[in-house]
Structure 1
Amino acid sequence: MCGIVGLISYTEDLSRRTEVLAAMRGALALRGPDAVGEWVAPRALLVPRRLAVVDLTGGNQPMVATDPSGAATVVLSYTGEVFNADELRAELRRRGHEFRERSDTEVVLRAYQEWGAACAERLRGMFAFAVWDVRTEELVLIRDRFGIYPLFYADTPDGFAFGSEPKALFTTGVVAPVVDGEGLLEALSFTPTPGRAAFRGVREVVPGEVVRRGRDGLRRHRYWNFTPAPHTDDLATTEHRVRELLEEIVRAQVAADVPISSMLSGGLDSSAVCALAGRVLAADGRAEPLRTFSMEFAYHLDNFRPDEVHDSPDSPYVAKMAAHLGTEHRELLVDRGHLTDPAGQSEVVRAMERPVAGLDMYVSLYRLSQEVRRFSTVTLTGDGSDELFGGYLWFHDPYYVRAKGFPWLGASHRMEFLTGLLRRDVHDRLDFPGHAADRYREALAEVPLNGDESPRERRMREITYLNMTRYLRVILDRKDRLGMAASVEGRVPFCDHVLAEYVYNVPWDMKVADGREKSLLRAAVRDLLPDDVLRRRKSPFPTVQDPAYRTALREQLRAITADRSNPVNDLLEPSRVAAVLDDPSFGLRVGVTRMSIEAAVQLHHWLASGVTVAL
């Protein structure tokens, strides 16, 4: 996984801006610790950073195509992994293209030369890249279908800036880290909107989109979305096809020239990926076992209590699965000190560039990524399965299915995830409920339907689409940002578009054929897993149960708000802060959740990182 940043100007000679170039080179060092390159020209500065995974001696960037005279024609700045690169390389050779190396970067460059921006439709993988056409002075940005790789951009007074993360845009000096009311709604509402970012003037390339910026302005178009189609396979054939696709996908995604590993939670999704990956490695004759990693909260080893969505801790199932597969397994124990360390919290906020719902989960995942990096550069995850196969509670409980809003908000019982401590005048003026309702209506209007669905089938299609285009964005952003903060590339087999297109059109009754969540996936991999793991009820990523964690958060809030010069005080409601600090219920009586306290702590770290909130 790599990082890119660039600046385009149609009036200034950028080749003279050496100080800007130096800042851009340092912007995304963790995303690309192995190499940094640059393209310097009057109209364009492009800086790619590389995390070398395939063809370690080739693939250097930016990669430049030339005409017969040797003059540059197009310049590629690329992040990603294209898993059908070998097939595309063979086709492009038949079309007359020559290759000097075996990197997928060169495949993307030649594919762009052959098909232009339409090359995106032929790429199977995860990617976000920029192409600068030297001849027409047009920049083209292209992002993969699910947004596995991030890509942001902003218009400037005389051109355009782009980068893998907003923080990269800020190094150009023409984009500022300012958050206005719309940005605060986006950051704190837990209703992700495709294309929107938290920062004023910054946009995100929508998954499956091409963005063009030339002298005549900006143009956008989608090259992919889900397409409704009849599903004619019977249940047995459907199960076989899902298994066949998963085997094909994992076989392609374990290819790497660096150590590879897999996350293992003891749940269905990660266990299936690990089992398939282990089979591929064994079939290839690799002597070393698959490396697997997991995380557990130390408090849960002796004090775990079942709750609405967690029947048991992960550790026993992880151990059983690791033994079943014979993996080289490492478990990271996270304690309260890790979770409340201000430095670690700050690193998470800097990585995510916004407050998040469930800081304890993010801090633990960041530390797990650091542990993975000690032994591996690439790791597979089970992300995307719950959204595609219907794993979450809100796919199945009638209360949540009937909710007239994003189902994961219905599952919160109308709790204020991140806004419980926000100033009431700000909260009411921005109208968070109205914002969520508007975004929900927009999302429903997008859902691809064939018009023949029964009411139940239509609703389940809607919920699947909402999860695949909104909730999955949260999951993939978390995987990308926290992995890249430790220079680890995360691969997501369940986010393969061929698999997703097929499963999207499978009738809901087939997806829950045995009356349980993800029964289609469970049937497809039933021969790979121990019965206990196969039958285990969906258990989301754990959140720490240690009551002392909330106490520690309260003390952090006390210290933060005691400094009256701290700008976070301008965003927090004093009476609610007082309730958290003085009320034995820690603010629960006025509706303040633990996530809201975490959010206040994160707002402090966010502002300390240089962000300005302008309401």
Structure 2
Amino acid sequence: MCGITGWVSFRPDTLATQAGHDLQNAGVIEAMTATMARRGPDAAGVWLGTHAALGHRRLSVLDPVGGVQPMADRPDRPGVVLSYSGEVYNHHRLRAELRRLGHEFRTRSDTEVVLRGYQQWGTGLADRLEGMYAFAIWDEHREQLLLVRDRLGVKPLFWARIDGGVAFGSEPKALFAHPELSPRVDADGLREAYSLLFNTGPTLWAGVREVPPGGLLVIGRDGIREHRYWELTARPHTADLPGTVEQVRSLVNHTARAQLEADVPLCSLLSGGLDSTVLTALAADELRLTYGTQARLRSYAVDYSDQAESFTGDVLRTGHDTPYAAEAGRFIGTDHSTVVLDPLALLDPEHRRAVVVARDSPIGVGDMDTSLYLLFGEIRRHSTVALSGEAADEVFGGYPWFHNPAAIAAETFPWLLVTGDEAAMPLNPELAAELRIGEFRDATYRDALVAVPHLDGEDPTEHRQRELQHLSLTRWLRQLLHRKDRLSMAQGLEVRVPYCDHRLVEYAFNTPWSMKSHDGREKSLLRDVGTGMAPESVLYRPKNHYPATHHPEYTRGLQQLARAALDLSAVREIADAAVLKPALDAAPERLSWGQRLRLERVVDLSLWLDHHRPTLTL
């Protein structure tokens, strides 16, 4: 896992075509690359050509010696240069195919497989890759830059126009190190941030866009061409229930085992829920098959020092995770650890600032972000790669909105019924009148439904469930993947998400809802797969979200931080202090989850404004 950045420009005096520009442009690409240091703590490299510059920060996972980047097809006179982030899990098979086609390899890295694959197949390479990745390829002969992102959008990739071309990077902060770009936010950006709709393409930052999941850009002298090489499609499902369970078992088994390759220590995130337990069981079994029966997979859970005494359920959490995680670890036979955090450490301004800087956004989930950041820091002391159960709820129908009649019938994005219309932030009335977020949500929802593929003759239940799953996979999942990527990479930890395998996603998307809920509850197919791999208590445990602290002193400290944030005029230009006042004055133990989340985001807003100093053009 790494950080990539760079630019291409066809303006004659932009790069090294004039005396004195070499040093200036080398400084620019080095500055852009330096912003990615936490994503790649092991090495740094840059390449500077006549019309393009590529930068790379490396987290060494495969072939630490051979996988140095940016990587060129030949060192003396490069024709193709690559800056690549991620993992291609089918690189062994592709390497064998490319060798049969006459290609020679200098390394055993998956990076070189991507490079040689482009030489053989051009942009058609994207269709052949299996994994999580974002990369940039400069083709000197064609004078074009190719930007590619994986199908589910696990790895981020942003870009913005500059004079004569574009700049790109794994994170927006890399773009802002380019002299032609600066952090600027307009009304459209605030709509994107505070509507909680998670659109593909536009971002919080004016002029900055994401390469869509399953998308690629080709930038040349004739302009910019965008192409989607992968999207969800509707296909008939012909298998019966036993055959469907067997196919899901095969797909889950394949993707879990395929993602274990690493030349560095690997572990699993084990929360004590169904998703992570099945994944951990498969990974642990594969390690024993590979390294012998004594091999043990490390697994980690997170908890708070007061949780056993002060846990109280809420709209997202039905129970305390730690006992279930420990039981699952014993059942599977992992080397299990629980990272216990002090709730008051989550108030540390430096921790919170690190999270906001990592996310490049004021929209997070407060203590759940900070605790995840600290958890990843502890894990990184022992492991460089971790497996995580992200996307199982989207793939197998785990969220409440798949099952709640009110959510199913609602004519809006279903998660808004859980988060609440104002959970993102009660906006200053003048700003709210300008943004008209309600209208924006309604229009976006209508457009989102149009994009859902359907089969002729679907009954109403299947039709609606396909909509809910498509919305969840193409929108809700995006912010979870962003969160996991940013907070893990801020600690130099690579997190892999096997449930995001596109073949598994495609198959489950086209499996009838009647099969996905055949036992009358959530994630029926994954429970079938997990039978025998997990304790009964975990198999039939209700859905539980990532834990949050319930310590009243944390809530009291959060109220103090939010009061200080609202003392700032720049914060009050965005947030409605009057609406937030009851949450500031309430007894800490009486604060609802939604009220607390608003306070979390006010604090993050103040940190974001202070760090980025964005120009607001509203």
Instruction: State if a TM-score over 0.5 links the two structures.
Output: yes
Query: How far apart in 2 are the matches of 1:152 and 1:237?
Result: 41
Q: What is aligned with 1:395?
A: 402
> Which aligned pairs between 1:480-559 and structure 2 lie closer than 5 A?
480-559=485-564
Helix, strand or coil at the partner of 1:576 = helix
Gaps of 5+ in 2: 17-21
Q: Evaluate the alpha carbon distance shift between residue 181 and residue 586 of structure 1 in structure 2; reply closer, same or farther with a 3 A threshold.
A: farther
Quote the offset at 1:567 in angstroms.
2.6
Query: How far apart in 1 are the matches of 2:477 and 2:573?
Result: 32
Q: Which runs of 4+ in 1 moved over 6 A?
A: 585-589
Retained in 2: the 8 A contact 1:229–1:505? yes
> Which aligned pairs between 1:407-426 and structure 2 lie closer than 5 A?
407-412=414-419, 414-420=420-426, 422-426=427-431
Q: Evaluate the alpha carbon distance shift between residue 202 and residue 233 of structure 1 in structure 2; reply closer, same or farther with a 3 A threshold.
A: same
Q: What is aligned with 2:8?
A: 8
Query: How far apart in 2 are the matches of 1:513 and 1:572?
Result: 45
Match among 39, 63, 78 for residue 71 of structure 2: 63
Retained in 2: the 8 A contact 1:294–1:331? yes
Tell me if 1:45 matches 2:71: no
Matched AA of 1:63: M
- Give the aligned CA root-mean-square deviation in angstroms: 1.9
- 206-215 or 444-453, which deviates more: 444-453
Q: What is aligned with 1:332?
A: 339
Retained in 2: the 8 A contact 1:580–1:587? no
- 516-525 or 303-312, which deviates more: 303-312
Helix, strand or coil at the partner of 1:510 = helix
Quote the offset at 1:586 in angstroms.
10
Q: Evaluate the alpha carbon distance shift between residue 285 and residue 574 of structure 1 in structure 2; reply closer, same or farther with a 3 A threshold.
A: closer
Q: What is aligned with 1:18?
A: 26
- 1:393-432 residue CA offsets vs partner (Å, 9 max, x unmatched): 00001111111011001223x4411222x21110121011
Query: How far apart in 1 are the matches of 2:349 and 2:147?
Result: 36
Q: Evaluate the alpha carbon distance shift between residue 504 and residue 574 of structure 1 in structure 2; reply closer, same or farther with a 3 A threshold.
A: closer
Retained in 2: the 8 A contact 1:266–1:317? yes
Helix, strand or coil at the partner of 2:519 = coil
Retained in 2: the 8 A contact 1:587–1:593? no
Retained in 1: the 8 A contact 2:556–2:588? no
Q: Evaluate the alpha carbon distance shift between residue 309 and residue 608 of structure 1 in structure 2; reply closer, same or farther with a 3 A threshold.
A: closer
Tell me if 1:438 matches 2:432: no
Retained in 1: the 8 A contact 2:303–2:322? yes
Helix, strand or coil at the partner of 1:38 = strand
Matched AA of 2:367: D
Query: How far apart in 1 are the matches of 2:577 and 2:522?
Result: 43
Retained in 1: the 8 A contact 2:346–2:371? yes
Retained in 2: the 8 A contact 1:73–1:134? yes
- 1:328-385 residue CA offsets vs partner (Å, 9 max, x unmatched): 1121122321221111111111111112342111111101110110000000000010
Retained in 1: the 8 A contact 2:566–2:577? no
Query: How far apart in 1 are the matches of 2:312 and 2:607?
Result: 31
Query: How far apart in 1 are the matches of 2:577 and 2:399?
Result: 36
> Which aligned pairs between 1:179-190 and structure 2 lie closer than 5 A?
179-190=185-196
Q: What is aligned with 1:595?
A: 597
- 1:234-280 residue CA offsets vs partner (Å, 9 max, x unmatched): 11111111111111111110111000000000000000000000000
Match among 269, 277, 299 for residue 271 of structure 1: 277
> Which aligned pairs between 1:211-360 and structure 2 lie closer than 5 A?
211-286=217-292, 287-360=294-367
Query: How far apart in 2 are the matches of 1:466 and 1:611?
Result: 33
Q: What is aligned with 1:30?
A: 38
- 217-226 or 9-18, which deviates more: 9-18
Match among 457, 474, 478 for residue 469 of structure 1: 474
Retained in 2: the 8 A contact 1:579–1:586? no
> Which aligned pairs between 1:95-110 and structure 2 lie closer than 5 A?
95-110=101-116
> Which aligned pairs between 1:98-137 and structure 2 lie closer than 5 A?
98-137=104-143
Helix, strand or coil at the partner of 2:291 = coil
Q: What is aligned with 2:617?
A: 614
**TM-score relative to the length of structure 1:** 0.96
Q: Evaluate the alpha carbon distance shift between residue 329 and residue 74 of structure 1 in structure 2; reply closer, same or farther with a 3 A threshold.
A: same
Matched AA of 1:379: A
Matched AA of 1:42: T
Query: How far apart in 1 are the matches of 2:594 and 2:72?
Result: 54
Query: How far apart in 2 are the matches of 1:459 and 1:364?
Result: 36
Query: How far apart in 2 are the matches of 1:280 and 1:216?
Result: 49
Query: How far apart in 1 are the matches of 2:586 and 2:333?
Result: 50
Matched AA of 2:531: R
Query: How far apart in 2 are the matches of 1:27 and 1:212?
Result: 24
Q: What is aligned with 1:198?
A: 204
Q: Evaluate the alpha carbon distance shift between residue 524 and residue 587 of structure 1 in structure 2; reply closer, same or farther with a 3 A threshold.
A: closer
Paired residues, what number? 608
Quote the offset at 1:436 in angstroms.
1.5
- 1:583-615 residue CA offsets vs partner (Å, 9 max, x unmatched): 6699989x9721111111111000111231321
Match among 553, 570, 573 for residue 570 of structure 1: 573
Helix, strand or coil at the partner of 1:346 = helix
Percentage of identical aligned residues = 45
- 195-204 or 354-363, which deviates more: 354-363
- 573-582 or 245-254, which deviates more: 573-582
Helix, strand or coil at the partner of 2:207 = coil
Matched AA of 1:14: L
- 1:467-494 residue CA offsets vs partner (Å, 9 max, x unmatched): 0000000111111000000000010110
- 1:447-480 residue CA offsets vs partner (Å, 9 max, x unmatched): 1112221111010001000000000001111110
Q: What is aligned with 1:366?
A: 373
Query: How far apart in 2 are the matches of 1:445 and 1:23?
Result: 42
Query: How far apart in 2 are the matches of 1:585 and 1:375?
Result: 36
Q: Evaluate the alpha carbon distance shift between residue 583 and residue 363 of structure 1 in structure 2; reply closer, same or farther with a 3 A threshold.
A: closer
Q: What is aligned with 2:19?
A: none
**TM-score relative to the length of structure 2:** 0.95
Quote the offset at 1:166 in angstroms.
0.3
Helix, strand or coil at the partner of 1:31 = coil
Quote the offset at 1:581 in angstroms.
4.0
Query: How far apart in 1 are the matches of 2:341 and 2:443?
Result: 39
Query: How far apart in 2 are the matches of 1:584 and 1:332?
Result: 29
Retained in 2: the 8 A contact 1:415–1:593? no
Query: How far apart in 2 are the matches of 1:363 and 1:468?
Result: 25
Query: How far apart in 2 are the matches of 1:586 and 1:599?
Result: 19
Query: How far apart in 1 are the matches of 2:440 and 2:282?
Result: 42
Query: How far apart in 1 are the matches of 2:148 and 2:324?
Result: 40
Q: Evaluate the alpha carbon distance shift between residue 527 and residue 251 of structure 1 in structure 2; reply closer, same or farther with a 3 A threshold.
A: same
Query: How far apart in 2 are the matches of 1:525 and 1:173?
Result: 52
Query: How far apart in 2 are the matches of 1:585 and 1:86?
Result: 55
> Which aligned pairs between 1:145-184 and structure 2 lie closer than 5 A?
145-184=151-190
Retained in 2: the 8 A contact 1:10–1:43? yes
Q: Evaluate the alpha carbon distance shift between residue 481 and residue 592 of structure 1 in structure 2; reply closer, same or farther with a 3 A threshold.
A: closer
Query: How far apart in 1 are the matches of 2:613 and 2:442?
Result: 28
Matched AA of 1:539: N
